[in-house]
Amino acid sequence: MNLPLSAYDLRARWRAVAEREAEERRGIPPAVRWQQLNALLTFAAEAGLDWKHRDEREVAEVRRRWIRIKEAFEGNG
């Protein structure tokens, strides 16, 4: 019989996954990262996305949302 995982267990698993992903990213050579960045920018251009446009009001709102999420996650909100 498997017991459901606690929130603590789930957070620990996600931390382990994040650490593993970070290790993998650190192992990617700069030339490959550059190719990946160029591929993303090419995709954005071909999709007609205006990735250079920056609306400071939108950026501020997204930052406020992330702060609220972080505070709720850390138990400060």
In this predicted model, what pLDDT tens digit does every residue of 6-54 receive, in sequence order? 889 999 999 999 999 999 999 999 999 999 999 999 998 899 888 777 8
- pTM over 0.75? The answer is no
Domain extent, residue 28, equals: 7-74
3-state secondary structure of 43: helix
Burial of 42 (0-12, 13-18, 19+ CB in 10 A): exposed
DSSP 12-40: HHHHHHHHHHHHHHHTS-HHHHHHHHHHH
Kindly state whether residue 2 falls inside one of the protein's structural domains.
no
**Domains identified in the chain, total number:** 1
